[in-house]
Structure formats: structure tokens, C-alpha cells
Structure 1
């Protein structure tokens, strides 16, 4: 190839975008059943009726999907008690966050977010041409809300809250989020990332829809990837005031959510009883794992998602290697700074038991 220097160049900020590190699959090991506990996937098959709905929709793959997400929006509006105009769908809640930042940020804008938190935040912020302002978590893996509010300046366009926080696990309370919204300027878009909301079992869970009426600068982002088990189909959505939802739809990829994904999401919403049962099973396993870790001497932040967090510092890489050797793939976070450790998904019962055995042995 010649004349490489003459090629078009991306924006300078693109070169600094960090790579997203996905959870790796487990290493195949002869005679050992391996488990992937690195991506917070649900260990169960699709909910009743979901596979059939997705398969039927796939039969028309020669046609474009419904760009208006008509059935999905109608089902969500009915379930949430909002108007269709308050909804905007995308290929997972991550894509919706990208769309929000694309619509509300640009060069010179700042986005305040917790750190360590979801790895896609700095990537999405840089892709929008904005500047990330990461605010360190507290020692117990929670948002430092006072510090986050103190980081808001005239340049702040967006503030992101992640509840429960990925990867550390604690959830914000309704009281805490309401207090943030009361204190932050109305011109700042507040994104409440609720990817794991179905797993929350706290005394004061966030009711995001109730907050929307009083705080039109709030946007909720949710997904079908976690509790609903549709990680492979990529469908998420925003709930927001009409102008914000319209802006998200305006910058979205045309025909982004596939027909099978839309059909699967609608069918999943109809399987509410089965969904509640499987989420309860995950929460029960989470409680068992936390009790086992506590008995082994681990200080685990209050987990409200479908995962637990081990703050391991310099031993993080060694713990992940030891887990791989016994057929478990966990998600290590080894970058310099605070909150170095392993996030471990609550998976199959056998996987969770093997993880506890390893944790006891390495303590």
C-alpha cells in the first residue's frame, strides 16, 4: 500500500479511545465442565415463547425490521405507564448511551461518571468528542455522589449514574438519586443506567419512572440483555421526556433493532411470571455466594446485580489465572489505580460452588 500519509485521518480523540475488553470464554479443558462467569450473562435459556417468536420473525429476514419498533414500544408503554413518545430503542442499552452522548455532547463538553464503572462509558464519551471526568468510587464500591456533584462545571453536559454499579455491585437508593436530581442544574442530562435493575433487593430501590415527572433532564437506560436473557440479540431502550427520547431516536441507526430482537423482547415482556422466578433463583444463588465468601473472610461490596466483586489488588491476575485453571473464566480488572479485582457472574449452581471452593482455597 502506498501514500499512507495521504489517507483521511480520524478526529484526534479517536486515537485515544480505550479498547473495550469483553469477557473471555473459558479455556477448554479435557474432562472438565467449564463455565463463563465473565460477561454477566444469564445462565438460563430463553423465556417461554421467546425462541418461537424470534424464529418466526427470522423467517422474514429478507425484509427490513419495523423501524418504528411499534409492538415493542406499545408493550413497553403499557408495562411502564408512559407514552410511546417517551421511548427510544437501540441495540442494547450501551447503544442507547452512545446515542444520548452523540445527541448531547461535542468537543468541549464534559461527562461526569463514576469510576470504576462500566467500561463503555469512557469509550462512548470519547466517541462523542467529549471529555470524560471519572470520579473515584468510595472504599466500599459505591458512587461518591458529593464528589460527582462537585465535579459538575459549566462545561458539564451529562452526568452518568450506574445502578447497580458494574463491576462493584452496590445500588443507589431512590432517596440518593432524587437528591442528586434536586441539586444538579436542569441543563445537565442525567443518565440513570439501570441494566441490572431487576436483580435489586434493597430497602429503597430507585423508581426511575416516578422521578421522570419531576425531573425532565433525567433519562433511564434499560436492557433485555441481563435479566431477560437476550444478550445475543441486542435490544435496549431509553425512557425519557419526549424531547430527549426524540433526540435519541434521531441519531439512532436506521433499522437498528432487528425483527427477531423486537419479537423476542415483546415475548419476554409477556413472560413476567417466569422472569420473576428465574431472577429470584439468581438472587438466591447470589445470597449463597455472598454468605460463602463472607465465611471465607472476603469483604464483598453489597451486590445488587447478577455478579459479585472481589477487591484483590495485586493478586487480581493470579486469582483469574487460578480460576481459569479450574474451568472458570472470571473478569479481572488489573489497570493501575483503585478498584483492582475480579467481577464474577452468578452462574449455574455448579459454577458458583466451584467458585466458592476456589475462593476458600486462595484466601
Structure 2
């Protein structure tokens, strides 16, 4: 008899990555399906990475020491409050493994980041999905009502992936105060650098014994191919995440690239501002066409398409644009990454043919 795979693993749905860019008329091809940064590496990053590659015969620093020091200085937190992993999603997996198991519940908004159901199921815990509000943002009151004696973790994604809205800071602070202290609240801030709303949640100001913030270098910093993310948390929680992490998880070149990217934040902020301008232009242009687009505080926009989602996705593909369709009801739609200016203009020209 062959080995028996745990039922929680055997039934895990596969994570669906963004598809590669198609080839449209005249060879036009833009990948807008993975929320990647369209800019090349920040100044100094390639040189730091190359120097690190020259030491590839050595193991990476398992403690991520240089990166920990740089992040502690940037965020003005203790080094013991940080845990590094291969992307914020890996940090989330390790955090949930440390906190939840059979018989527990993890509450999170839906629709939100599609890795959440997978991460929860791998622990053996049960997902409790709470529908978003009419604005495609979180319904904090509904999240609070979903809490039961079995709840161990609540996820809050701000800005929310894939719909874009932020969570109000004061409302989130009140929500945290209202949730029992033994429940862990994880604030997923993967896209935090793109937020401009004055009332946007500031997760690092809310860190406490039962509150953690997830951050990543994949989006604003443009290191999606290197997989570096981290959490800021209470030292006990951060220590548990480190204990659950695979040894030597973050490669030597990835660590070097992250440190060099932090040193180039002036250029980073300039690029982020350009992407924000493009995002707002794209969202406004889609609304002027009569399409429903919620306020996005990220590097993507959400096009509420309903039962037209699959057809519209095919039309974008035919134009050389790979967007991300989410076809399952009741909140089907398209997530469109903000890309190069010429890609964004093509999105608007193509969208004009949808209406």
C-alpha cells in the first residue's frame, strides 16, 4: 500500500500564477496579470547581485543579518521583531503553521489574495471567508461577526488584492481593540507603498502582541523574481515565524538585492509616484467608458465584469494584453496591473471596444 498523503494536502487547490503575455497584432505583448513592477532593477541592485553571485559556493546568511539591520533601521523596530522569508506569502505560510491547526478557524475577507485559502488548508485549519462590502473593500463589522471560539487568525489585506481598496486606519485600530487578544491579526501590506489615501491603514503603528504586518520586495521594489518578504511583529511571533521557516530560505543574491534596493529608496519613490499617476489615469479612463472600477490604492485596477469576465479577458488577450480574470461568482472580474504607459493606453483602447 503506498504512503497516504494527508487529506488537507491532497485536496489543496493549485495556486494559479499570472499567465505569460500573449502576442497581439504586430507582435504587441504586455503581461499585466501578476502585478509586477515594469521598471528594471533600481540603481546598484545589479552590481550587488553580481557580487553576491560570485560567492554562490557559500551558503547564504541564514539569519539574514544585513537585511534585518537595514529593515530595523528603516522601520525603527527591534531586530527581534523581524522575520524574513521567500516572499511575504512564505512568511504567511510559516506564521499560520505556527498558530493554526486542526479544529481552528482562520477568518479573512473574500475576494482577497488567492493564496489565503491554500495557506490555511495546509495547516489543517478551516477557512472562514467573509464577503467584501459594496465598494469591493473589507467589511470589518462582518469580519468581527465571523469570529467564534475556534478563531485563531484574522487576515486583513490593505490595499486589498485583487480589488484595490484600503482599510481605514482608525476603523482598523478600533477593530483590533474589539477582537479578543488571543486572536492573531495579520495585516497584509504587500502593496502599501502605492497607497496615497490619507486615511489608509498604517500597519506598523498597530503592531502589538497579536498584530503583525506582512511586507514584500516583490511589488514596489521590483524584486518579484528573487522572492524576499518579511513580517514585522511582536518578538515572540517573529521568533515563531523564524522557527517555522526553512533554513537558508532566502538566497544570497536575493538578500544582496534587497539591501541594495533599500539603499536606493529615493529612486524607488520616484518610480512609485509614476506608477500611481498611471494607475489613476487608467482607472479614470475606464470609468469614463462607463465601466465599474473601485478606488485602487495599489499598482493594479479591478474591473468588475461579472458574467462577461471570460469574454472580456479573451478580448484583452487578442489585443496582446494578458490580464488576470477571476471568473467564479458572485464577484467575478478582471485585475489589470499598471504597466508601461503604452500598455496602459492599449488597455483603454481595448476597453473602449468592450462597451
Normalization by structure 1: what TM-score? 0.96
Partner SS, residue 361 of structure 1 = coil
Alignment of 1:234-249 (within 5 A): 234-249=227-242
- Equivalent in the alignment of 1:3: none
Q: Matches of residues 1-363 of structure 1 in structure 2 within 5 Å?
A: 6-29=1-24, 31-212=26-207, 215-335=208-328, 337-363=329-355
Query: Is the contact made by 2:83 and 2:241 (CA closer than 8 Å) also made in structure 1?
Result: yes
Q: 2:199 & 2:226 partners in 1: Cα distance?
A: 32
**Which blocks of at least 5 consecutive residues in structure 1 are unaligned?**
1-5
Following TM superposition, by how much is the alpha carbon of 1:207 offset from its aligned partner in structure 2, in angstroms? 2.0
Task: State the Cα distance separating 1:32 from its structure 2 match.
Answer: 2.1
Question: What are the superposed Cα offsets for residues 141-171 of structure 1, whole Å, 9 maximum, x if unpaired?
Answer: 0111111111111100000000000000001
Quote the offset at 1:19 in angstroms.
1.2
What RMSD, in angstroms, separates the aligned Cα atoms of the two structures?
0.9
Structure 2 runs not aligned, ≥5 long: none
> What CA distance in whole angstroms lies between the structure 1 residues aligned with 2:144 and 2:241?
25
1:209-253 per-residue CA deviation (whole Å, 9 max, x = no partner) reads 2212xx320010000000000000000000000000000000001
Indicate conservation of the 8 Å contact 2:49/2:257, yes or no: yes
Q: 1:28 offset after TM fit, Å?
A: 2.9
CA distance in 1, matches of 2:250, 2:172: 30
Paired residue secondary structure (1:62): coil
Question: How far does residue 30 in structure 1 lie from its aligned partner after superposition?
Answer: 6.4
Q: Provide the rounded CA distance (Å) in 1 between the counterparts of 2:349 and 2:4.
A: 51
Equivalent pairs counted in the alignment come to 355
Q: Normalization by structure 2: what TM-score?
A: 0.99
Query: Would you identify which runs of 4 or more consecutive aligned residues in structure 1 move more than 4 Å?
Result: none
